[in-house]
Amino acid sequence: MNTARWRRYGLSYLFLLPSFLFIVVFLYYPVILAFFHSFTDWNLVQTKWTGLRNFRTMFGDSSFRTGAVNQIVYTLTDVFKAIVFPLLAAELIFLIGGPKLKYTFRTGFILPMLLPGIVTILLWQNIYDPNNGLINQLLMLLGLESWSHAWLGEDATALWAIVFYNFPFIAGLPFLIFYAAIGNMSQEQIEAARIDGASGWQVFARIHLPFLVPQFKVVIILTIIGSLQDFVKIMVMTGGGPGVATTNPAMIMYNAAFGSSQYGYGSAIGVSLFLVILVLTLFNMRFLKSDY
């Protein structure tokens, strides 16, 4: 960097340096360490090189395979939920006349974002509670007691109870992303389409959807990452059970690393998740082409 540039930007770089150092030390360095340790047997005290053994163990483990299948269900449904419902809500609010009403509904959808995640998880755990839960109480009131279940405690329902957690799935961030994008669309173009006789559905399908492709990319990538990393709600709601019915790779990774000090094996699962996220992200970038 020449002297003039240093004089102009030097101070800015200096201010950035501490943050960058923190990121390197607390994010990049552990990631590199995890790559290394995924090929070792590491218990925080001793490290022994084991080559690909952790990865072989992972693929040979029936619990991991169950977790991987569960993860596919979680991720596919998470992406579906993150796209369809927030988009629907954003479109509906966009169509509502009057700024006050729009504001009221927008706030209504955003407010739940302020709740700590764990609170929502515990609320849903209570909703599913077999003895005192809202769902079973409601079924009882309707005379449908025979339909009640231990939603989180039965093999047949536990996985889908987790999938239906937080219904109607209007997550604040995707909703805001879609709503902001819809608000930024060219109204002249939409009006022109309407004058040309386009129906509401045609406007949505031919103008809105293509315009929203960059937002889809962002939401899909963020959702996939979040879905693959998420184990908190599973841990709190079912602990991965009954048995391993609702477990996922992140949960298995946590148990291996922090439940039985198998940090090498845990690192191998973490590295695998990282690679899956990378591949899916690249696929998403290529598959959903846009000009942005």
Partner 1 sequence: MKRNQRLALLMAASLSVASLSACAGSGGKGDASPSASSGGASASPSATATASASAGAAKAKKTIVFSTITNYYTAGLKQAAEDYQKLHPETTVKIDIVSDNTTYMTSFQAKMAAGGDDAPDIVHANLLGDTPAGNVKKGYILKLNDFISEPNPYNNGVSLRDGINGDYWPYAYTSDGDIFMLPFDLVGTGFYYNKDLFAKAGIAETPTTWEDLFADLQKLKDQKIIPLSMSQATGSDYEGWMVGAFEDWANRSRIPEIIVQPGDARSTPEVEAINGKIQYKADDPFFDIGAVVDAERTMALWKSGKYDLQGPAEQKIWSTLKQLSGYLQPGYATMKDADAYQLFISGKAAAYWNGSWQVGQLLKDQQALGGKGFEWGTFKFPGFKQADPNFPGAPRGILVPGHQLSVTNKKDADTVARAKDFLLFLYSPEEAQKVFTTTIDAGQFVQGPSLVKGVTLPDEVNAYLDGFKVAGNMNGQIGQIATGNPAAEPNATAELKGLELQYYNNKLTLEQFLQKKADFVKKTNEKYIADNQFDLDPKTNP
What x-and-dash track marks residues 53-92 binding partner 1 by CB under 8 A? Answer: --------xxxx--------------------x--xx-xx
Whether residue 96 contacts residue 102, with contact meaning beta carbons closer than 8 Å, is answered with yes
Helix 213-229 to helix 263-287 angle (10° resolution) is 170
| Pairing relationship of beta strands 40-42 and 47-49 according to DSSP bridges | antiparallel
| Position 123 contacts partner 1 (CB under 8 A) | yes
140 touches partner 1 (CB under 8 A)? no
- Does 182 sit near partner 1 (CB under 8 A)? no
Among 1, 17, 30, 126, binds partner 1 (CB under 8 A): 126
With CA atoms as reference, report the closest residue to 257 among 25, 4, 38, 13.
38
Smaller CB distance to partner 1: residue 223 or 240? 240
Of the candidate spans 17-25, 29-37, 154-162, 271-279, the one that interacts with partner 1 by CB under 8 A turns out to be 154-162
Nearer to partner 1, 91 or 221 (CB): 91
10 binds partner 1 per the rule CB under 8 A: no
Q: Please, what is the minimum distance in Å from the beta carbon of residue 194 to partner 1?
A: 9
Q: Is 44 in the site for partner 1 (CB under 8 A)?
A: yes
> Which range touches partner 1 (CB under 8 A), out of 16-24, 176-184, 249-257, 270-278?
249-257
Tell the smallest beta-carbon distance from residue 70 to partner 1 (Å): 12
Shortest Å, Cβ 248 to partner 1: 12
Two tokens, residue 2 = 């020449």
- Among 270, 237, 275, residue whose Cα is nearest residue 252: 270
Q: Is 272 in the site for partner 1 (CB under 8 A)?
A: no
Give the binding site for partner 1 (CB under 8 A). Answer: 44-45, 61-64, 85, 88-89, 91-93, 95-97, 101, 105, 108-109, 111-112, 115, 120, 123-134, 137, 150-155, 158, 166-168, 170, 200, 237-245, 247, 252, 255-256, 258-262
